[in-house]
């Protein structure tokens, strides 16, 4: 009965927040990705993403992710990883006092397993990424009002990515990724991405792209700026023959 009372009180707040989702705004994701080779078979994935409802403001989500990669061969990689996600689901910016009341902080701890398979057709590099996620979600704001809003969800993702070199420096990157829930309604979201990339050095590249993020009843348009840094931390062999 107590939980029902809370939901009756909170429903108008949630409906009001849902009326303006920022769908008409052109938001932005600023991203860093790193692969750090530590041995012939092992590398460490590092990642940070800062996502905004608008191009230069109105915070939406912080995503930090890391993982241990095992390279079966140059074209097949398995990964076990962890992600930390801090989300503000409300479009309108609020003060701290209002934010905690409106429930605009959702914290998520995520474990994922991943398999990447690469192949090449002509000049085009194909990458297939299969990922399973176990998501431990805590709505901190509404929980502060006494509602138990902790949840565990499971999700599968598949991404097909194509990379076409235009020259020694420039390339085009395109992917489509579908998210499938393993509970409730199956379809979660779909992301269509296209970008122009440039290799700045042997281990660093950047991409400037556009993402169409499609959900069941809503779409978001996002500018994406990504920096990719791949380092080799293996000790060089200095043995004299």
Q: What is the pTM of this model?
A: 0.84
Query: Cα 241 to chain center, whole Å?
Result: 47
Query: Cα 89 to chain center, whole Å?
Result: 15
Specify the higher pLDDT residue, 93 or 65: 65
Specify the higher pLDDT residue, 66 or 216: 66
At 210, list the tokens. 């556009």
Which residue's entry shows tokens 């979600």? 137
At 173, list the tokens. 């990157």
Strands 124-139 and 106-121: antiparallel
| pLDDT, averaged across the chain | 86
Mean pLDDT, residues 83-100: 69
Specify the higher pLDDT residue, 149 or 147: 149
Number of Cβ within 10 Å of residue 101's Cβ equals 16
For every residue of 177-195, DSSP letters joined together read EEEEESSSSSEEEEEEEEE
pLDDT confidence of residue 3:
41
Query: How far apart are the C-alpha atoms of 25 and 45, rounded to whole Å?
Result: 31
Cα distances (Å, whole numbers) of residue 233 to 39, 42, 76: 8, 11, 20
pLDDT confidence of residue 43:
98
Contacts of 241 (CB under 8 A, 6+ apart): none
pLDDT in tens, 117-126: 999 999 999 9
Query: How far apart are the C-alpha atoms of 51 and 62, rounded to whole Å?
Result: 6
pLDDT confidence of residue 21:
80
Mean pLDDT, residues 24-29: 93
Mean pLDDT, residues 94-104: 45
Specify the higher pLDDT residue, 134 or 18: 134
């Amino acid at each position: 009965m107590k939980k029902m009372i809370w939901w009756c009180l909170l429903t108008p707040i949630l409906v009001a927040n849902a009326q303006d989702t920022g769908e008409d705004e052109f938001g932005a994701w600023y991203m860093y990705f790193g692969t750090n080779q530590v041995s012939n078979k092992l590398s460490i994935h590092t990642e940070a993403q800062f996502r905004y409802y608008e191009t230069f403001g109105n915070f939406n989500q912080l995503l930090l992710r890391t993982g241990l990669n095992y390279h079966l061969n140059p074209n097949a990689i398995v990964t076990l990883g962890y992600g930390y996600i801090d989300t503000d689901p409300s479009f309108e910016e609020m003060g701290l006092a209002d934010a905690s009341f409106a429930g605009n902080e959702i914290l998520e701890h995520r474990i994922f397993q991943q398999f990447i398979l690469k192949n090449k057709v002509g000049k085009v590099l194909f990458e297939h990424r299969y990922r399973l996620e176990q998501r431990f979600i805590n709505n901190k704001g509404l929980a502060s009002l006494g509602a138990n809003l902790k949840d565990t969800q499971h999700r599968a993702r598949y991404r097909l990515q194509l990379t076409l070199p235009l020259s020694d420096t420039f390339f085009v990157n395109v992917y489509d990724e579908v998210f499938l829930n393993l509970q409730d309604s199956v379809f979660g979201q779909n992301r269509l991405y296209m970008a122009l990339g440039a290799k700045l050095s042997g281990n660093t590249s950047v991409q400037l792209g556009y993402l169409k993020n499609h959900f069941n009843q809503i779409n978001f348009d996002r500018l994406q700026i990504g920096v990719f840094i791949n380092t080799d931390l293996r000790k060089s062999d200095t043995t004299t023959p």
